[in-house]
Structure 1
Amino acid sequence: MATHPPARPEPAAPLDPAALEPATVLLDTGGTVTGWSDGAARLFGRAAADALGTDLPGLLGGPAAAAPLAEAVARAASGRPWTGTLPPIPGAPDGIRATCQALTAESGRTLVALTVAAPWAGGLELLNEAGRRIGATLDLALTARETVAVTVPRFADAGAIYVLERRLADDDAPVPDGRDDGSVVVRRLAVAFADDDPGDWAAAFPAGEVVVCPADTPYARCIATGRTVEFGGEDALDTIAARTGRRVEAVLDHVSLLAVPLAARGRALGFAVFSRKRGRAPFGPADTALAAELAARAATGIDNARLYRREHRTSTALQAGLLPTRVTVPPGLRLAHRYRPARAAVGGDWYDVVPLPDERVAIVIGDSVGHGVTAAAAMGQLRVAAHTLVSCELPPAEVLARLDAIAQDLDAAQFATCLCVVCDPATLRCELACAGHPPPLLALPDGTARHFAVADGLPLGVADPAHPAEYEQVTAVLPPDGVLAFYTDGLVESRTRNIEEGIARLASALVASHAGAGGSLEDTADGVLALLADQQGQDDIALLLVGPEPGRLGPAS
């Protein structure tokens, strides 16, 4: 059946255009602030009320910029616009690329407009790369590793991703993110360091470790408030010492750290930690804004992967619990069965073998459309219904008619293909009915294979309820030296091959495998899957082989 993603991915949050808005500061010719834009407030972390009427270098704590700024303002005021780089100040640790040009106020006095672009060195490039790499797969650990790989070492000297342990559980009960004492329990999914030899770091910060963050740590505060928390090396060291009972002195070199919340779909997932070592400019307001954008992208990818993993586990467990682990076959018949799940998502393939009175046996095989929990749940309902119906000794055509009515009543809009066969080992007589399922194949000892007699009908659940589907029942006899193959479309259909070509390949593989198996159906089944290995992993595969016991000369009279 066609693949359907198990969870609708949430797109990455777009970059807030305001985050890219330049900072504009109006100065009089003496360097006093007379105007302060929203961009300046974001870039320099100062509200307009704090900035107006102050000396800009003094306000920002950058006295080294006073002389160059005064020269730039004087030049602009004289009618010569200035463009250049001012010395580093907090909020712009690498210096600021700025322009100064004169303006004439309504009062007639001259003002100077200082314009500074958001000083994200490579920030847009970093965000673009993050958009390309983070969340490209639905692998939770890989998504976390991609996040730190993008940020280290360009943005930070170290980075780590922590997710709340309860978010990784299969259930999603609405309980608090923290414990009664205010601490939070998180799992470290990924960590990266810029050092040439990160061996010691990997030992101190192993991926997959569960960590309890006390309430007074920056990490717990980040979760509790949903805001980025800036802190220094001692706070990080205290947490490690409490957890391991030893000090990791090298952490003290990381003097500027950010704990950035990870949130998606309106709830907290965990946090990212970024740190810079002594000798590198500490994080400023612009860096904090960039970290928040990176964290938003990471959170979306992590939440998509988390939801996919939970759904995949649920559907896998559901399907595993419903597929038969033991098959009882009456005397006179042999049967081999195989099931191979898809690598990406669990589908709705199912089968059952039901012993009937008089040593007859019913074989039912089907495929519910789609993948994931919905398909697995529909498969479970149809399989249980089919088992009950054939156990009541209803003929195959009536079994399918009643399954069709059941499929139309399922809560979710579902349809499925199904094939029902009742076989009498004494006579090798088979009664068959089909609802849109690929036809069984019969392999003969002369090295040929052909379709076994079956009349196709509508898939289950697609007929107009006012005009129920009718299924034709066909009778055929299984040759005493033949092998009958039932299968689902995952074995014969792919993106590069239509189902008719796939059935032809299966027929060739069936004949070749049976010829080399010495009569063993188990070996024949393994051989078929080996020859069609390129089909496996794309979709669920079910294969059942049925044949008479060796030594039969023909149907009983």
Structure 2
Amino acid sequence: MAEDPARPGQATVLLTPDGTVTGWSDGAARLFGRAAAAAAGTALTDLLGRPGAAEPLLVALKAAAAGRPWSGVLPLSDEGLPVACEPMTGAGGRVQVLLTVSPPRTGGLELLDEAARRAGSTLDPHRAAGEIVAVTVPRFADAGAVYVLERLLADDDQPGAETEGSAVVRRLAVALADDDPREWSREFPVDEVIVYPPGSPYARCLAAGDMVEFGGDAARDTVAGRTGRLLDGIADHVSLLAVPLAARGRTLGFAVFSRKRGRPPFDPADRALASELAGRAAACVDNACAYRREHRTATALKAALLPAEVTAPPGLRIAHRYLPARSGVGGDWYEVVPLPGGRIAVVIGDSLGHGVTAAAAMGQLRVAAHTLVRCGFPPGEVLARLDAIAQELDAAQFATCLCLVCDPATLRCEMASAGHPPPLLALPDGTVRHFAVAHGLPLGVSDEEHPADHPQVSATIPPGATLAFYTDGLVESRMRTVDDGVARLASALVASQGGTLEETADGVVALLSDQRGHDDIALLLVRPEGP
């Protein structure tokens, strides 16, 4: 057997279920100091030459011969070496075992670099924690786990209160080197929420923000009250470290590393390495939790900003489409507000920024706009008052907005704009033109010395025409100018105008589908009902 070139230094041995050598790699020859010809046909336990190695090796072989993969650390060197046993089926259906011995444990810097690289590649807290324990087990410890304070992860933002001195944590990841780690994982599942009482090693670790080393009875006390046949195995973990996860001056939780009998207990160098590993884990978990909170806030905010169901008044048909950007949170929005006398108000707006701050500002402007039009203010006055509100927001946001009030009985419209793209009017004869509107400054741009002017104009929707309101995500891109985008929208309106208004909306979106992704897109179509 040749050495695997992808894993330099790795030793592989092919064995019968009773441990007789049938295959021997170059790496095994270097590790055990015997050539392949001398090893073939010999019991591996006779070749080890280390006291205490035969018994755990036979346990591993027995598990693999029964069809169960085994992984763990065997005393093949002073510090022990990671070993994996995999069942195989040879010629004639004979059962064989492939034993793989990894190179001696890497140095601390290499372990830290790998942990930082792997955990830092994800913004998911569970994956970040999982990468940390995967790096450390079995090279550094026989078991590892990461626990984070439940109050940092609770979806309802109001987790159960912690009694004084207790620790309420959630297990984000666990890894064990054992003959059947799946059984251990069932006993200690990911996402389980646990309350550790005051005085327990884990509660003391959190309270003091210091590493706590323990084992023996203290290890069993940490699982007091649980049942399961594997809990007796806790007694084999004689050297344990609870290491605080600290980032930005606060403790997020703790990591646990443990070693079993037969492996040297953690020494000062190991404790220093464990502290460094926990520091890497804390930074990655902190970033992941921060992203999770912001993403959850953004998702909830985005859902709240999604346009509500639009009801058209008698005499008008209305179709609308809202296509969120593939990433981030935008501030596009629109409202159709019923008014006394059968009239309606259409308000459409677009934040000039992105993210949670922009969306929150637009949410406030949207509520204000809805209230102002319901109070009967004309469009120009609505925008003037919105401009004053925009300047008082905690997070100043420039925004465009257009407000229109329409009487379905006469199709007469009053309209004002604050820097928003003018609506398009698609006529039954196949021509398209801008619907008359005077341009005003965007909201939030003016000040007391230079107040913004939002002139109000009047216009009438011709019978059979389609009035299209939109945000710049539908017409603006890095590939073309706004004028080119408006021209494409006009062509799409003409090409899609033959069917119902809903079909027209679908057709426009389909024809301009290459615009989707970089920015939110809002489209609202209004068409008078036919005779």
Normalised by the size of structure 1, how large is the TM-score? Answer: 0.67
Query: Is 2:131 aligned against 1:146?
Result: yes
Residues 232-271 of structure 1 aligned to structure 2 (within 5 Å): 232=215, 235-240=218-223, 242-244=225-227, 247-271=230-254
Cα gap change, 1:328 to 1:143, in 2 (>3 Å): same
Q: Which one is further off, 196-205 or 353-362? A: 196-205
Quote how far apart the aligned CAs of 1:461 are. 0.4
- Matching residue within 142, 154, 163 for 1:179: 163
Q: Does the CA-based 8 Å contact 2:336-2:346 persist in structure 1?
A: yes
In 2, Cα distance between the equivalents of 1:469 and 1:254? 73
In 2, Cα distance between the equivalents of 1:367 and 1:204? 52
Q: Does the CA-based 8 Å contact 1:240-1:247 persist in structure 2?
A: no
Query: Which amino acid in 2 is paired with 1:134?
Result: A
Tell me the residue number matched to 1:168: 153
SS in 1 for 2:421: coil
Tell me the residue number matched to 1:440: 423
- Matching residue within 202, 206, 210 for 2:185: 202
Tell me the residue number matched to 2:62: none
In 2, Cα distance between the equivalents of 1:504 and 1:250? 73
In 2, Cα distance between the equivalents of 1:333 and 1:361? 10
Quote how far apart the aligned CAs of 1:274 are. 2.5
Cα gap change, 1:364 to 1:153, in 2 (>3 Å): farther
Residues 33-432 of structure 1 aligned to structure 2 (within 5 Å): 121-169=106-154, 178-180=162-164, 182-194=165-177, 198-232=181-215, 235-240=218-223, 242-244=225-227, 247-318=230-301, 320-321=303-304, 325-342=308-325, 344-432=327-415
Cα gap change, 1:431 to 1:236, in 2 (>3 Å): farther
In 2, Cα distance between the equivalents of 1:230 and 1:483? 74
Tell me the residue number matched to 1:545: 525
In 1, Cα distance between the equivalents of 2:291 and 2:315? 45
Percent identity at matched positions? 72
SS in 1 for 2:332: strand
- Matching residue within 476, 500, 506 for 1:519: 500
Query: Which amino acid in 2 is paired with 1:146?
Result: E
In 1, Cα distance between the equivalents of 2:122 and 2:392? 35
Query: Which amino acid in 2 is paired with 1:377?
Result: A
Quote how far apart the aligned CAs of 1:492 are. 4.6
Q: Does the CA-based 8 Å contact 2:351-2:398 persist in structure 1?
A: yes
Cα gap change, 1:172 to 1:388, in 2 (>3 Å): closer
Query: Which amino acid in 2 is paired with 1:545?
Result: L
Q: Does the CA-based 8 Å contact 1:312-1:346 persist in structure 2?
A: no
Query: Which amino acid in 2 is paired with 1:548?
Result: P
Quote how far apart the aligned CAs of 1:531 are. 5.8
Cα gap change, 1:263 to 1:329, in 2 (>3 Å): same
CA displacement 1:315-357 (0-9 Å, x = unmatched): 5445544655333321111223344445544333322111123
In 2, Cα distance between the equivalents of 1:501 and 1:195? 65
In 2, Cα distance between the equivalents of 1:224 and 1:186? 13
Q: Does the CA-based 8 Å contact 1:323-1:352 persist in structure 2?
A: no
SS in 2 for 1:292: helix
CA displacement 1:99-121 (0-9 Å, x = unmatched): xxxxxxxxxxxxxxxxxxxx993
In 1, Cα distance between the equivalents of 2:108 and 2:491? 57
Cα gap change, 1:393 to 1:177, in 2 (>3 Å): closer
Q: Does the CA-based 8 Å contact 2:492-2:512 persist in structure 1?
A: yes
Tell me the residue number matched to 2:87: none
Q: Which one is further off, 483-492 or 200-209? A: 483-492
In 1, Cα distance between the equivalents of 2:443 and 2:203? 52
Q: Which one is further off, 452-461 or 485-494? A: 485-494
In 1, Cα distance between the equivalents of 2:179 and 2:508? 50
SS in 2 for 1:546: strand
Number of positions where the alignment pairs a residue of Structure 1 with one of Structure 2: 433
Q: Does the CA-based 8 Å contact 1:120-1:286 persist in structure 2?
A: no
In 1, Cα distance between the equivalents of 2:142 and 2:436? 69
Quote how far apart the aligned CAs of 1:495 are. 6.3
SS in 2 for 1:388: helix
Tell me the residue number matched to 2:93: none
Query: Is 2:450 aligned against 1:467?
Result: yes
In 2, Cα distance between the equivalents of 1:408 and 1:388? 18
Normalised by the size of structure 2, how large is the TM-score? Answer: 0.70
Quote how far apart the aligned CAs of 1:220 are. 1.4
RMSD, matched Cα: 3.7
Instruction: Tell which has more relative contact order, 1 or 2 (C-alpha 8 A, sep 6+).
Output: 1
Q: Which runs of 5+ in 2 are unaligned?
A: 1-74, 82-103
SS in 1 for 2:361: helix
